[in-house]
Amino acid sequence: MTFNEFNFHRELLKGIRIAGFREPSPIQREVIPIIQNGEDLVAQAYTGTGKTAGFGLPIINKIRNGEIERALVITPTRELAIQVSDELYYLGRFCGIRTIAIYGGVGYGRQIALINRGVQIVVATTGRLKDLYKKGKIDNFNPEIVVLDEADEMLDMGFLDEIKEIFEYIPQNRQTLLFSATIPEPIKALADKILSNPKFISIIGKDRCTTNNVIKQQYYVINESQRDEAIVRLLESENIKKSLIFCRMKREVDRLSDYLQALGFNARGIHGDLEQSDRDEIIKAYRRNEIQILVATDVAARGLDIKQVTHVFNYHIPFDPQSYVHRIGRTGRAGREGKAITLVSTNEFRELQRIQKEVGADMELATIEIDVWDSDNNFSILEKMVREVTIDELAIDFIDSMEDMNYHEFVERVVTILLQQKNCSKTITIGYDQESVNSMLDDYYNEQKVARKNNRLKKRR
């Protein structure tokens, strides 16, 4: 199937072609005809499946053909609002489409002026949008199509009440589209309230194989004390162009990013406690490839869409399956290959199994083999070489030429070079193989059984 089959305007097809899209993704094939028919929609799809273009292309086409004048996209974060606005502008620029991202933390004036001047597509965060509606600043903005993007993220961030309030200001004669990676009960209830006879589309099952083929998923079972060493060795051994490292807590982000910088890695940390201007600057630098490694919390990385991310690392396993899906969806974008690597301790292994089961993830157990300095072996070999070597006259001339250098420093430098050139390292392994993991799990489960039995005996006494 090609995009020509949707009967898009030729100027929109030009934008699609220059953007590098060759054929519609599964979510795009499903939702575009529904949106073209003017029907309401609930679509379930993971991050990175092409859903922005899925709703954006038919909206742009409707505006270009004069079917509608305005559209509104509501997002959970300002980063996502900026990214969606940029992508829609890029796709529709030959159609004369104007977009604007509306979010808090900046002045009202320019945003209000552009909306009232007739920008066709407004992409907004919930807080700023609700504020503008409540204050009567955008009374003339009546979108014919409204999109809720990443609705489950809005639920997680506590924005559902704001969403309901926003829809009280929006005209009833509209087309409403809801996109979400998961559809929990509160999202179903919201859909019943704001949508009219919607079509339901889910590509979770259909797209799972494609996602797993594109994103190679590995996990390493390590001791808790090995996390830093493991992440460093992986960063050194993997062919990384741009990577994301997810941590659970802000203090982990600060500590790990500082640690990696001290080791010479091009890394920065980002989390919710940073000033918004600092976050924006870090993300811009990351986009411009001025930062190679971004260490982040889940909240800080929500809505982050960087197509060149080759690796996602879970420094700690996420708290729930949905977070795992959102994390690894930051790589393997737009059909590119990606790799997701998770570090787990034996105590966390059951959580990993639960995630594997719930999201259908095909994860591969892996180990890291690294060379470490074997000083005893190096020194014994070097000592034997020194005692047995015949002195070359050129060596004498060379020493004379280095008379400006302190004698002991000179000897220390020469010995260091010899030690480095004589590769006498030994190999150690980080991460347990399958047999070791099975054995440790057996021990762990047996300990749990004994503990439960002892607890029952104590209660009987």
Distances (CA, A) of 27 to 33, 66, 185, 386: 11, 25, 22, 69
Q: Token pair of 267, please?
A: 């890394």
3-202 and 208-367 share one CATH topology? yes
pLDDT for res 209: 35
Distances (CA, A) of 33 to 12, 329, 422: 16, 25, 66
**Residues 271, 250: contact at Cβ < 8 Å?**
yes
Strand ranges, E, within 65-129? 71-75, 99-102, 121-125
Name every residue whose Cβ is closer than 8 Å to that of residue 169 and which is 6 or more positions away in sequence: 133
Closest CA to 35 of 10, 57, 14: 57
Q: Would strands 311-314 and 243-246 be described as parallel, antiparallel, or unpaired?
A: parallel
Q: What does the alpha-carbon distance between residue 255 and residue 245 come to, in Å, rounded to a whole number?
A: 13
Q: In the chain, where are the structural domains located?
A: 3-202, 208-367, 374-424, 431-460
Residue with token string 């162009």: 241
**Residues 129, 108: contact at Cβ < 8 Å?**
no
417: number of CA atoms within 13 Å, CB side?
6
Residue with token string 């506590």: 158
Indicate yes or no: pTM above 0.95: no
Q: What does the alpha-carbon distance between residue 124 and residue 103 come to, in Å, rounded to a whole number?
A: 6
- Which residues, given as ranges, of the chain have pLDDT below 50? 207-212
Q: What does the alpha-carbon distance between residue 144 and residue 325 come to, in Å, rounded to a whole number?
A: 32
Q: What does the alpha-carbon distance between residue 422 and residue 238 come to, in Å, rounded to a whole number?
A: 25
The fold adopted by the segment(s) 3-202 is Rossmann fold (3.40.50)
Q: What does the alpha-carbon distance between residue 57 and residue 259 come to, in Å, rounded to a whole number?
A: 44
Q: What does the alpha-carbon distance between residue 214 and residue 17 come to, in Å, rounded to a whole number?
A: 22
Q: What does the alpha-carbon distance between residue 211 and residue 362 come to, in Å, rounded to a whole number?
A: 10
Q: Where are the alpha helices (DSSP H) in 21-77?
A: 26-36, 51-64
pLDDT for res 207: 44
Residue with token string 């529904």: 34
In CATH, the architecture of 208-367 is 3-Layer(aba) Sandwich (3.40)
Q: What does the alpha-carbon distance between residue 334 and residue 210 come to, in Å, rounded to a whole number?
A: 11
pLDDT for res 211: 41
Distances (CA, A) of 95 to 77, 88, 245: 27, 11, 38
pLDDT for res 426: 58
Q: Token pair of 58, please?
A: 């038919």
**Residues 317, 195: contact at Cβ < 8 Å?**
no
pLDDT for res 205: 57
Q: What does the alpha-carbon distance between residue 178 and residue 149 come to, in Å, rounded to a whole number?
A: 6
Sign of CA dihedral 140, 142, 147, 150: positive
